[in-house]
Amino acid sequence: ARGSLFQAQKMEALGGLSSGIAHDFNNILTVILGNLDLLRRAPEQRRERLINNAVQAVEQGRKLTQQLLAFGRRHLHQPEVLDLNRLILGMDDMLKQSLRGDIRVEFDLAQELWPVEVDPAQLQIALINLAVNARDAMPRGGQFRIRTENVTAPGSDLEQSVAIAVSDTGSGMPPEVVARAFEPFFTTKEVGKGTGLGLPQVYAFAQQSRGSVRITSEVGRGTTFTISLPHTQAQIVERQRVSHDPDAAAR
Ligand code: ADP
């Protein structure tokens, strides 16, 4: 029953995703078409601007397809047993690059963290997505923090889990944004800046890992995303390929 429920949720997500894509692409094509049409009759001095508008829409379409490809690749789920602290420390440079600006980066990593079994490439992409959002939420700088912790919750779905809490001291999210944040294509960013595919990737990663993700946020103070992943009994294999591969998240 659990499998079919999962399947139903996947189909629902896919349905939402397809209509979202269709909607976005339709808007982009409308902009291109409109500008090309005007170009036909436009006087010389207006042409440059119309061409620029069309080119911008094409660029946006390209960005969208790139993100969709990355989103689609999550189906290649390749879990490995690994030490999250090590993976996070291995991402130090990559995270600092994504954050830039006047943002302090802090790691607060639990000792003897339990191993988890997740796809390291997907986790890296998720953390980069969260870092980019944190940066956008802190245009005047602030603090970005990643905390890891072993969590025991008797009687819950995940009795033993590892939590990764990713926090910023940025703008925060009002409840109506929190409620829709994981929806594919939901964005509050200006056209061409946000695609609304960052958090859906984080959500899909958590689901695929049989974990969860939740948001706590306060407007004007900041936001924390907490990803919970099940503790695995399997042993860590002595080969953490991805933590030494800084390009993994870009692929
Ligand atoms: P995008 O970043 O392209 O808009 P996301 O799915 O990553 O898409 O995020 C959806 C929305 O959630 C953002 O547009 C923003 O409104 C909100 N959001 C996400 N992360 C944060 C954050 N750390 N602080 C404030 N708002 C955020």
Q: ipTM score here?
A: 0.99
What CA dihedral angle connects 236, 166, 18 and 52, to 10 degrees? Answer: -120
pLDDT, tens only, 177-204: 999 999 988 999 987 678 888 999 899 9
pLDDT band at 63 (very low <50, low <70, confident <90, very high): confident
Q: Which atom of ligand 1 is nearest to the CA of 186?
A: 10
In angstroms, the CA 231 to CA 47 distance is 60
* pLDDT of res. 174: 98
62 CA to centre of ligand 1 in angstroms? 20
For the Cβ of 61 lying below 6 angstroms from any atom of ligand 1, the answer is: no
For the Cβ of 128 lying below 6 angstroms from any atom of ligand 1, the answer is: no
More confident residue, 75 or 42: 42
* pLDDT of res. 251: 46
Q: What is the mean pLDDT of residues 118-140?
A: 92
Residue 215 has pLDDT above 60, yes or no: yes
* pLDDT of res. 17: 64
Residues pairing with 150 in the sheet? 162
Residue nearest atom 13 of ligand 1, based on CA coordinates: 187
Q: How is residue 146 written in tokens?
A: 């990643």
224 CA to centre of ligand 1 in angstroms? 12
In angstroms, the CA 20 to CA 27 distance is 11
Q: How is residue 44 written in tokens?
A: 């010389």
CB distance 144 to 103 below 8 Å: yes
In angstroms, the CA 133 to CA 170 distance is 10
Phi/psi for 197 (5° steps) reads -115, 0
Closest-CA residue to 125 (of 84, 91, 149): 91
pLDDT, tens only, 135-184: 999 999 999 999 999 999 988 888 899 999 999 999 999 999 999 999 98
* pLDDT of res. 73: 65
What mean pLDDT is reported for the chain?
Answer: 85
218 CA to centre of ligand 1 in angstroms? 14
